[in-house]
Every structure is written in C-alpha cells, then in structure tokens.
Amino acid sequence: MIQLLLDLQGELHWIPREVISHLSERLAVPKSQIYRIASFYKAINLTPVGRHMIQVCMGTACQVRGAQKVLDYAASKLDIGPEETTPDLAFSLRKVNCLGCCSMGPVMTVDGEYHGGVTLEGTEKVLKDLR
C-alpha cells in the first residue's frame, strides 16, 4: 500500500480524495485504513503541493548551524508557514528532519536539487530565481 501511494504520488504530486476512493474500491480496503497509512507518513501529501517544493533541513547539524533562521526567513519571504503552500500554488515550504548532507548545513532542497551552506541572501536569491 505504501509503495502504491508513493508511486501514485510520483505521478500526481499529491494524493487527492478521489484517488483514495478509487484505491479503496479497487483493492477492497476500507478508506479509513488507507487514510490511516497516508496520514501517518510524512512523505505522502494529502493536500495539493506547489509547483516548487522547498524543503529546509532541520536535522541537528543544520540546526546548530542556523537552519531555523533560514526556515523563518523563507517563511517570511513567501508569507506562509512551514508545511504550507502559497495560495497561487507556486511554492510549498516544508521542514524535513535530515537530508543526510549534514556536512554542508544548513541545507535546503528546491525541487529536489540540494543547496548546501545556505545563507539568508542565498535563500532570497533562490526564491527570486524561481519567481
């Protein structure tokens, strides 16, 4: 089930309600059970995500090197909170636990591309380039 949801999400970027209804019928699994799984795992999105996904790593190594500031800054620039999406569906901001690039913290990924040693100016530039 988890692999199925991940694959579907790979195509759709999120899991809409209709997909869950459809899955439930096809697999004869109650919707509640699918929702239980889908809501437990962070990687599965039950709400639409923006065209650009920004993930700020909040792992310990990034944390001690100032990841919180980067997250706050990105949030204030986009005018949304972490785990939210801008109303025009352009950006989603996420905090993630550890991207495993602890050497170059603070790290953020923009549409899957890694940026290491992120500064506030760097964040601003990245956001500007995407606009």
Partner 1 sequence: MSRVASVGDLELLRETLRSRRDAKRSREPWIAVCAGTGCLALGAKKVIDAFRGELRRRGLGTEVVLKETGCPGFCEKGPIVVVYPEGVHYIKVDPADVPEIVEETIVKGRLIDRLLYVDPVTGGRDVHEEEIPFYKHQTRVLINKNIKIDPKNIDDYISEGGYSALSRALSSMTPQEVVDEVKSSGLRGRGGGGFPTGLKWESARKAEGSPKYVIVNCDEGDPGAFMDRALMEGNPHSVLEGLIIGAYAIGSVEGFIYVRAEYPLAVENARVSISQAREYGLLGEDILGSGFNFDVRLHRGAGAFVSGESTALMNAIEGKVGEPKPKYVHTSERGLWSRPSLLNNVETWANIPLIINMGADWFSSIGTERSKGTKIFSLVGKVNNTGLVEVPMGMTLREIIFDIGGGIPGGKRVKGVQTGGPSGGIIPEGHLDTPVDFDELTRLGSMMGSGSIIVLDEDTCAVDLARYFVDFLCDESCGKCVPCREGLRQMRDILSDIVAGRGKGEDLEVLREIAHLMKAASLCALGRTAANPVLSTIRYFKDEYLAHIEDQRCPALVCEGLISYFIRPDLCIACGICERNCPEGAISEAEVGKGEDTFMVIDQSRCSRCGICFHVCPSKVMAVARTSGRSAPQQLP
106: contact with partner 1 by CB under 8 A: no
Which CB atom, from 25 or from 72, has the smaller least distance to partner 1?
72
Cβ proximity of 72 and 80 under 8 Å: no
Closest CB 42 distance from partner 1, rounded Å: 3
53: contact with partner 1 by CB under 8 A: no
Which CB atom, from 91 or from 99, has the smaller least distance to partner 1?
99
CA distance 44 to 118: 26
What is the token pair recorded at 114?
A: 């890694």
Task: Find the part of the chain contacting partner 1 (CB under 8 A) among 3-11, 15-23, 46-54, 84-92.
Answer: 3-11
26: contact with partner 1 by CB under 8 A: no
69: contact with partner 1 by CB under 8 A: yes
**Applying CB under 8 A, what is the total number of residues that bind partner 1?**
43
52: contact with partner 1 by CB under 8 A: no
Order across the sheet with 84-85: list the strands.
84-85, 91-96, 52-57, 108-110, 113-115
